[in-house]
Amino acid sequence: MAKFLKGNELNSELEKIFETAENDIILISPYIKLHDRYKSSLLTKLQNDNLRITVLFGKNEDDMSKSMKQEDFDFFKQFPNIEILHEKRLHAKYYANDFNSILTSMNLYGFSQNNNIEAGVLMENSRNSLDDDSWNYFETVLQQAELLFMKSPVYEKKNILSSKKYIRSEIEIDKLSDFFNNKSYDKVFKKNIKKRESEDNSIIKNGIGYCIRTGKEIAFNIEKPMHYEAFKMWNKYKNPDFPEKYCHYSGEPSNGKTTVNRPILNKNWKQAKEKFGI
């Protein structure tokens, strides 16, 4: 049985997909930015380790943050049993659970739900031809997509007659955290370099440099004067004027006289300018 949906009815039925799910939730949308009402519905399932959530988003292969924001990834990854995949060609929107599915024009995106004229078809999982065809098609799409994040429950089984006991969940695959961390790394240091360029018209050149926090050898780049692991620690507080330990140009101890804003010791600045053309 199929039912045509539009407007608030479409939003309401999508909420029911989340609320009534027992074993599976499938979310397929090129763009994902969860509305608070959907987050609230999904959070009722947070402690259900038997519920498998599968999220597929798409587009923007070169910058996936345009299709899914870090805050939504952080929201999804707290669930105990979840997969997140990406397919650059994705344009379809499909939402399903154990009992029903919705084939629709609507992205899982707050703006779409609040502002666009959207419509969809609700299908009961009665194994009619329409439901079977759509399910089989999207199952194939999921199989061909790139798996970016996977978190699975771990169970303890005492003996053959006992039921399994949930212990914890383990992250088996995580490419998204690295992506978003690198995105944050680029964003923070690009912001700082623009500030410095406005002050002294600096230009970035490549060569051998040193991490201002660890002293490790890295590429010379006053936009990114830290080793990535050091940056992750620095990024917790994001203080560009926090005293660091080494000179980015020479690698010598700076005794707190270098910072992210000023990664080169004053005495080395002239030499660094001549060598790297900054």
Rounded to an integer, the average pLDDT of 139-165 is 86
* 145 pLDDT higher than 60: yes
* 265 pLDDT higher than 90: yes
Higher model confidence: residue 187 or residue 121?
121
Q: What percent of the chain has pLDDT over 70?
A: 87
Rounded to an integer, the average pLDDT of 68-84 is 94
Tell me if the domain spanning 2-174 has CATH number 3.30.870.10.
yes
Rounded to an integer, the average pLDDT of 24-49 is 93
Task: Tell me how far apart the alpha carbons of residues 221 and 205 are, in angstroms, rounded to a whole number.
Answer: 6
Task: Tell me how far apart the alpha carbons of residues 57 and 68 are, in angstroms, rounded to a whole number.
Answer: 7
What per-residue confidence (pLDDT) applies to 185?
57
Rounded to an integer, the average pLDDT of 46-59 is 94
CA count, 13 A, side-chain hemisphere, 35: 18
* 195 pLDDT higher than 80: no
Pairing of strands 253-258, 244-246: antiparallel
Computed over every residue of the chain, the mean pLDDT equals 86
What per-residue confidence (pLDDT) applies to 202?
42
CB 44 within 8 A of CB 16: no
What per-residue confidence (pLDDT) applies to 204?
45
Kindly report which listed range (138-147, 175-184, 186-195, 237-246) carries the lowest average pLDDT score.
Answer: 186-195
Q: Residue 178 burial (CB < 10 Å; 0-12/13-18/19+)?
A: exposed
The interaxial angle of helices 36-43 and 7-20, nearest 10 deg, is 20
What per-residue confidence (pLDDT) applies to 189?
52
Per-domain boundaries in the chain: 2-174, 180-276
Model's pTM, two decimal places?
Answer: 0.66
Kindly report which listed range (109-113, 116-120, 151-155, 259-263) carries the lowest average pLDDT score.
Answer: 109-113
pLDDT, tens only, 247-256: 999 999 999 9
What per-residue confidence (pLDDT) applies to 196?
46
pLDDT, tens only, 198-247: 444 443 445 889 999 999 998 898 888 998 888 888 887 788 889 999 99
Q: Residue 211 burial (CB < 10 Å; 0-12/13-18/19+)?
A: buried
What per-residue confidence (pLDDT) applies to 193?
45
List phi, psi (to 5°) of 134.
Answer: -70, -45
CB contact set of 163 (below 8 Å; sequence gap of 6+): none
What per-residue confidence (pLDDT) applies to 207?
82
